[in-house]
Amino acid sequence: MAVNDTKRFTALQVMADAPVIPVIVLSDVAHAVPLARALVAGGIRMLEVTLRTPVALACIEKIARDVPEAVVGAGTVRSAADAQAAALAGARFAVSPGYTHSVGQACHDLGLPLLPGVATGAEIMAAQEDGYTQLKFFPAMQAGGPAMLKAWQGPFGDVKFCPTGGVTAANARELLALDNVVCVGGSWLTPADAVAQGDWARITQLALQAKNLQ
């Protein structure tokens, strides 16, 4: 899939681009571009920058502007205002830790692909009611892991998941082997110490390993 700074992606395309969507927490704007480049060098282009730090939106803006090979999205989107700020900063997809109608509506209105977080059948049904069928299962390993995903294959056979939360290089394969899993999400590609030290080679290596998971 060619990536450029004008192409729009569906949520399914965001999920299917690589086996792993890295969950990124940045506390220094100076780290944003080299980190994004390190992940892209390892073949991972869909990047979720979480709105958990004061510099998160500035980081999204920088990656969107300076790393055209990457497709930057916003994570930890918890309100319509978060979605609007993320889109304004240049985010091209959104990920939320849970689902609310207002977040779903805001992303729909913005044309921003959303992977809404769910952990129960009721949440899946609420997201589906609003048209969302590609969902993040969060927190995946804490909330039932592969067994939960298998249980959902019956009643929610039309839903595809990105399990996130407690996923590692060690357990990702088991999740990726499930029919209703397209990709996984996780923070293990961007260890805090590697980011702090600017050890971009290590992050490229972790990305390469993640890209080869499937």
Distance CA 81, CA 139 (A): 23
Contact call for residue 86 and ligand 3PG (CB under 6 A): no
Question: Strand locations in 42-195, DSSP E?
Answer: 46-50, 71-75, 94-95, 114-115, 117-118, 134-137, 160-163, 184-186
Please list every residue from 18 through 47 that binds ligand 3PG, using CB under 6 A: 23
Distance CA 152, CA 44 (A): 28
Q: Which stretch binds ligand 3PG (CB under 6 A): 3-11, 79-87, 125-133, 158-166?
A: 158-166
Instruction: Specify whether 174 is catalytic.
Output: no
Q: Which of 90, 144, 146, 166 binds ligand 3PG (CB under 6 A)?
A: 166
Torsions phi, psi for 203 (to 5 deg): -70, -40
Catalytic-labelled residue, pool 62, 123, 136, 211: 136
Q: Which of 96, 134, 164, 190 binds ligand 3PG (CB under 6 A)?
A: 164
> Angle of helix 80-89 relative to helix 101-110, nearest 10 degrees?
30
Contact call for residue 96 and ligand 3PG (CB under 6 A): no
With CB atoms as reference, the residue minimizing the distance to ligand 3PG is 187
Closer residue to ligand 3PG, CB minimum distance, 2 or 170: 170
187: helix, strand or coil:
coil
Q: Which of 44, 77, 89, 167 binds ligand 3PG (CB under 6 A)?
A: 167
Instruction: Specify whether 48 is catalytic.
Output: yes
